[in-house]
């Protein structure tokens, strides 16, 4: 969770989680939508939730390598949006 917090803090306002489901709130709907689209282009499915957030909901069975790979994709997407892309 710490690594996600540091990365998402570039753009996000609030991070909340319940078990494996993580919600990341962004400053506005447009930022959340752009992160969702950037993740999709990279092959990571995240779900928009509410007006300004995305939800990461990994499978119940996931190994560390795949979790790190998904987080790396999420980091790239957030960095792209933070850079204005």
Q: What is the pLDDT of residues 15-71, one digit of tens each?
A: 655 567 788 889 899 999 999 999 999 999 999 988 999 998 888 788 889 888 998
What is the predicted pLDDT for the residue at 1? 44
CA dist 71 and 69 (Å) reads 5
In 10 A of CB 40, how many CB atoms?
12
Domains and CATH numbers, the chain: 2-82 (3.90.1150.10)
Q: For residue 3, what are its two tokens? A: 């690594």
Q: Are strands 53-56 and 21-25 parallel, antiparallel or unpaired?
A: antiparallel
The model's pTM: 0.78
| pLDDT tier for residue 2 given thresholds of 50, 70 and 90 | very low
What is the predicted pLDDT for the residue at 18? 56
CA dist 43 and 40 (Å) reads 5
Contact between 17 and 25 (Cβ < 8 Å) = no
């Amino acid at each position: 969770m710490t690594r996600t917090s540091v990365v998402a803090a570039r753009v996000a306002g609030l991070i909340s989680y319940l078990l494996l489901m993580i919600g990341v709130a962004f400053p506005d709907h447009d930022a959340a939508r752009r992160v969702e689209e950037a993740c999709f282009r990279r092959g990571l499915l995240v779900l928009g939730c509410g007006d300004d957030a995305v939800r990461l909901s990994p499978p119940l069975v996931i190994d560390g390598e795949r979790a790190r790979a998904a987080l790396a994709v999420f980091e790239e997407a957030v960095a792209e949006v933070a850079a204005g892309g």
